[in-house]
Structure 1
Amino acid sequence: MKEEIWIEKYRPVRLEQVIGQDEAIERLKSYVATKNLPHLLFSGPPGVGKTASAVSIAREIFGEALWRENFTELNASDERGIDVVRTKIKNFAKTAPIGGAGFKIIFLDEADALTPDAQSALRRTMERFSSNCRFILSCNYSSKIIEPIQSRCAVYRFRRLSDEAIKKRLEYIAKDQVLSITEDGYEALIYVAQGDMRKAVNSLQAAAFIDPEKPISRETIYRTTSTANPEDIISLVETALLGNFRAARKELNRLLYEEGLSGEDIIGQIYRAISSMDNRIVLDLGLSEKRIVELVDIIGEIDFRLTEGASEKIQLEALLAHFVLSNAD
């Protein structure tokens, strides 16, 4: 039997199944009820329900028999030039709807990847074919969409999913798949996901295949997602802030070489540990707000250097050295 990818198996097919976006979904349902639709712009981080909402709208407006004929999906990150607007989008937009539908829907995913020229051409296409075609644009950053397109769309901002919403969906999947997950396993999945349901479900499926006979614990989650245990990151930062550079560097080397983590993964988790105001780094060490601001500033600088291609080991050791020196003042 062929195993199905869980993110597809458990993808919402109706608006009411999209979780964590109650306000946006309630407003979108009103369009479905009237069988009428303006151009839409969905903005927000990945894995929060933008694509699922677009497909669900098409399914509910056109019905299961006709939605595929009246709906097309393009990913702008694959074809981001002006030619895709002049050919694929324009050719689909100018044909008549099928089966007596009032209009067709073009869903353009990752629209913020379109070049400025392509967006200008898209604006004109939206104007010319609005009588028989509606556009749904999805993007991570609405600021990268030109103003003339934004002004022609009803903008919906999708937020990161709450921990409660993610856990509720994971519990449903675990029950359906007959999985046993410990409470700290759920906490680890939520930590790894960072508000991204797709990442949470992928992580759960990967962990489920490690040892089907044992409950899924946080160790399993961290091992399969190449994520450091948050406690190890907190310990690393605490050790450096307490002035023990050698011990902190030893722990850093373990994370880099034994755990196989990348420098960007570690810097991201260090930032999360520092910025969480209720964790023990802040509480036990009594860090002032000014000190936290200074630490976040240097983390940002090191992250930029890593992005530019600097040595991971040298830059992360420089970060630890700064932590040590900042506490010695």
Structure 2
Amino acid sequence: MSKKQTVKKTIVPAMFTKNPPPTSTTTTTTEKEDKSKNDRLIPWVEKYRPKKVSDVAYQDEVVAVLTKCLAGSDFPNLLFYGPPGTGKTSTILAAAHELFGPQLFRDRVMELNSSDERGINVIREKVKKFAQFSVITTRSDGMYCPPFKLIILDECDSMTKAAQAALRRTMERESKTTRFCLICNYISRIIDPITSRCAKFRFKPLKDNIIEKRLQTICNNENVQYEPEAITELVKCTEGDMRKAVTFLQSVARFRTNMTITVADVHEITGIIPESVIENLYQVCHSGSYEKLTTTVKNVLLEGYAAHQLLLQLHDYILGQMALGNEQKAIIFEKAAIVDGCLLDGADEYLQMMDFLCTVMHQLCRS
């Protein structure tokens, strides 16, 4: 009988193998680093967007109605309108996430920005096709899911009248399987047949103390050092727009990394013109010297200040001047409205500002 030959297998250490087994410590560390890196890359507007309807700030009426709708899974067609940055899109996205869950959100929700896709073909092709599909009433986690889909049309006041008319017909025909949420800044640009088919909610501009608390919370979470006056000035610049406030805060934080944010930093990022520049322009108008006014306006514009921002701040400053009468202010502000329209149409900034400030000079010399 022949003896069986035993072959000894050479054991290669794990560190020399082609695919060494990963150690749990290394994997955990890498995952944490990747997560922190991804968090740094996410805009703060998206990172701190409300995840639930109850997290939406200062819109109590809308939150109360949507909470009852979510509890009963009975959803009407909605129309959200109001100034930008007040939480219109965030509110409906949070409601959709709560209603459908993370698994069905992509299948059940269609979000379109009507400023980009505003023609009648979009309504006929995308919206109509999506609205015609029927859906099931159960989620993968076993919870009840309403038997309809949700179409979100953002900035729908940019839609053409023909597209709105086609949308009205689609809302009627697909009411059993689809709900619509229209979001706009100006409700007057939406045709009456659509507004009559929706529950309308106006989103109010956010109060300063609410925005201030939110910005302070973000600063604490992101380890951003700040002066209290800087946050107050930032809130003042945004005029009730939470999105703009958070965006400006992130810009200032990146601009002054590992440093304390000051009021001067806020002015640098937001483009706010220093009060001394506004006062100087007003005093030059008071002097009645056209040559001096010409030089001053040229120097201000060469500093890079926007003419539209200059007009806004001059408006507020003149409004608070008690030396001017109501009739004089009315003449000045009427000219300001004309100049503002010309600037929006692309007129020359220097000529428009000279036109406005000459009117101010004329009224000051009369008093």
TM-score past 0.5 threshold: yes
Name which of 196, 202, 206 aligns with 2:251.
206
Tell me the alpha carbon deviations over residues 108-135 of structure 1, each in whole angstroms, 9 at most, x when there is no partner. 0011111100000000000000111100
Please give the secondary structure, in 1, of the residue aligned with 2:209: helix
**Count of residue pairs brought into register by the alignment:** 321
Q: 1:131 to 1:309 in 2, by over 3 A?
A: same
**Hey, what does 2:177 align to over in structure 1?**
132
Alignment of 1:142-291 (within 5 A): 142-241=187-286, 243=288, 248-258=293-303, 260-275=304-319, 281-282=320-321, 285-291=322-328
2:91 is the alignment partner of 1:90: no
Q: Which runs of 5+ in 2 are unaligned?
A: 1-36, 139-145
How much has 1:247 moved relative to structure 2? 5.1
> What amino acid does structure 2 have at the position aligned with 1:321?
C
Higher deviation after alignment, 39-48 or 233-242? 233-242
Between 291-300 and 85-94, the greater mean CA deviation after superposition: 291-300
- Deviating above 6 A after TM superposition, structure 1's stretches of 4 or more consecutive aligned residues are none
| Distance in 1, Cα, partners of 2:64 & 2:290 | 53
d(CA) in 2 for partners of 1:247, 1:182: 37
1:46 and 2:81 are equivalent in the alignment:
no
Which digits, 9 at most, give the CA deviation of each residue in 1:142-166, with x for residues without a partner?
0100000000000011121111121
Checking the alignment, whether the CA contact within 8 Å between 2:324 and 2:364 is kept in structure 1 is no
Instruction: Say if 1:237 and 1:248, in contact at 8 Å, map to a contact too.
Output: no
What are the superposed Cα offsets for residues 34-69 of structure 1, whole Å, 9 maximum, x if unpaired?
111110000111111000011011112222332232
* 1:57 alignment partner, one of 92, 95, 101: 95
Report the secondary structure of 1:65's partner residue: helix
1:292 is aligned to 2:329: yes
SS at match of 1:256: helix
Question: How far apart are the structure 2 equivalents of 1:102 and 1:241?
Answer: 68
Query: 2:358: which partner in 1?
Result: 321
> Cα deviation per residue 1:56-101 (whole Å; 9 max; x = unaligned)?
1111222233223211100111111001001110111111124533
Indicate the structure (1 or 2) with the bigger Cα radius of gyration.
Answer: 2
- Distance across 2 between alignment mates of 1:51 and 1:119: 20
Partners of 2:332 and 2:356 within 8 A in 1: no
Contact 1:245 1:320 in 2 (8 A): no
The answer to whether structure 1 residue 9 and structure 2 residue 9 are counterparts is no
The percentage of aligned residue pairs carrying the same residue is: 36
Of 156, 175, 183 in structure 2, the residue corresponding to residue 111 of structure 1 is 156
What TM-score comes out, normalization by structure 1 length?
0.91
CA separation of 1:252 and 1:29: change in aligned 2, threshold 3 A: farther
Letter in 2 for 1:79: E
**Aligned partners of 1:98 and 1:267: how far apart in 2?**
56
